[in-house]
Each structure stands twice: as C-alpha cells, then as structure tokens.
Amino acid sequence: MNNCTFRYCKAKSSGGGLRLATRVEVETDHLAFYDCWAEYGGGAYNSASCPVIFNDAVFENCTADYGGGFVYNAGGKMTMTNAEFNRCSAAECGGGLYLMPVFPYQRYTRSADARFDNCSIHDCAADEEGGGIYVYDDGNDTDELNKIIINKASIRNNTAKKGGGLYVESYFVYLVDSTVTDNQASGKHGGGVYVDSMRDIDIAGEVVIRSNSAKGEPNNLCLQNGSFSSAKMYSGGLYDGSYIGISSTSGSGATVGKNMSEYQVLKFLHADDSSRGFSMADTKEVATPLFASMISRNVSTAIIIGGFVLIAGTVGVLVFRKHRKEGKKHDEQSENGSR
C-alpha cells in the first residue's frame, strides 16, 4: 500500500482512515491521514497479528477518543519510521498515539514488539493523559517481548492533564536518542513525561527532557510515588548532550535504577525543584559525599546527596546492552580524563 491519502474519513469504532487486522505481513509507504476521525485511532488502527511496517506516514488534524492519530492494539511486530503527527487530539488519552503492547485476552497468543524510529509528535493534545503518546497495559504482564521502543523521536509542544509529551502506564518502555521539550500538563505533574507508580521507563543514548511544565512550573520527567510502589527510571547508558529534568509526585525523591553510575546521576539528572527533595544540577553545591549502600534483595540503593535522599530501585533486564556498555566506557574515559 503506497502513496495513499486519506482525508475527512470517519469510522464509528476504530481506524478512521485505515484499520489493519490482517494475518498477512503489510508494508506501507507514504500514507497521509488528514482530518480523520474514529473512537479509537482517528487516523489508523493496527491490531494485525503479523508484522506491519509504516514508512513515511503523516497524521494531521486527526481526532479520536483514544489515539487521535494512531492506535497500536497488541498486534504483532510493528515498525513505524519517519512518521509525523501534527495537531492530532484525543478526548481521553493519547493525542498523537495510543499504544497497547498487551491486551488482556491476547497475552498468551501474541508477543507485541513495536518500534517507532525518527517520528515527530508536535502540537497534539489529550484531555486526560498523554498529549503526545500514551502507553498502556493492564499491569499483569512482565514479558520483555512486549516492549515499546521510541527511538530518535521529537516530542514537542503537546498538552494533556498529565504526561503532556508522554504518559507511561506499561512495562518495558524504552526512550532512546530522543527529545521531549516544550510540552505542558494542566495538572500538577508530568509536563514532559509521567510514569505511573507501578511502571518503569528505560532511557538510553542522548536524551533531552527539559523546558516542559506543569501548571506553569518546571516539570519534566515525573515519577509517581505510590503507597506500595514507586515508578523507576533505568539507564541503558546516557551520552554527552543528555539533560533530564526529574521529579516525583511526592517531591521527596525520584527512583532511579542502581545501574546508573554516580557520574551519570550527577552529570545528566537535574532536579526540577531543588527545594523539594534533592539537587543534582551542580555538584559544587553538594556538601556531603555521595555514597551508595546496598539494602536488600533486588536490591535498592540509597543515594544520598547533600543531605537529601534519592532512592534507587531494582535493576531490570536491559535491552540496551550496547548503550550500557558504551555508556560505562564513556564514564570511565570521562572520569580518567578528569583526574
């Protein structure tokens, strides 16, 4: 399917312009969706059980209740490359994209694996969560095969109540070599990225999450602290040029994986509000030595900086072995060079 334009298309249920539910591999090139509407996936909806490839797609001014531009519903493997999402909107979640790597009744029959390369999500909006992208599962799946990889993305100037740029309510979400900037949340948290308390996010490469706001205040990557569990950020190896503004919903400290070196914590993580938990933006202001102590199985690490506590959580299985290895090598070179 090549060089097709869908304009002013509507569907009562899913896939305003296009719905894929095939058992045959599909590859598309140069599809464009303008002003399309559906309840799920205003532009396109994919629940195909076989591999699907989107190359060079445009979604513009598409609307839906869920997934204004596109919905991925626990299908087979999928790759989307060089896609643009402009001014799409959702009455509920996922102004640009709504991604479900696991659907409850399909868990044992499908392995979802979706990758989004070099996509731009700009000026999209959701009334609830995930102005740019919303990623969801039902919370019962811990299979790493069911993963979402967002690589070389530009997520900019999107709005929502929470998670202006990206809302994560799913396991195994990977953000690589991407920028999340100038997004806004109308609520108190998650101007750029919001991660649910029961979930994690893995970040690798050169990642910039900054200049985002919630209720007009700086708020970039926000990790929810719940009553029984807290969201965690893991690093697969961050590169020079990375900048991640970080906070938690409680304001007392954010939870990062203990695989993140002290060098990377101090260099790349920056507290959105240093008066409410910890400050890592400038190591010169750290009065007490930074140290780590092992606490228990799965084992959490307490990183104490300047009298404030940053709780670090369990290390999960990392997909980004290359990033992690190169990041570690970079750390060693940087530390050796500073001696």
pLDDT digits (tens, 9 = 90+) for 123-152: 999 999 999 999 998 665 555 667 899 999
Q: Is the predicted pLDDT of residue 76 greater than 70, yes or no?
A: yes
Q: What percent of the chain has pLDDT over 90?
A: 54
> What pLDDT is stored for residue 252 in this prediction?
66
Q: Is the predicted pLDDT of residue 118 greater than 50, yes or no?
A: yes
| HEC profile of 233-266 | EEEEEECCCCEEEEEECCCCCCCEECCCCHHHHH
Q: How far apart (Å, rounded) are the C-alpha atoms in residues 192 and 194?
A: 7
Greater model confidence, 25 or 318:
25
State pTM to two decimals: 0.81
Element (H, E) at 195: strand 193-195
Across the range 69-80, mean pLDDT stands at 88
Phi, psi at residue 309, to the nearest 5°? -110, 130
Phi, psi at residue 279, to the nearest 5°? -130, 120
Amino acid letter for position 104: P
pLDDT per residue over 219-242, tens digit each?
Answer: 999 999 877 778 888 888 899 999
Beta bridge partners of 64: 38, 90
> What pLDDT is stored for residue 16 in this prediction?
97
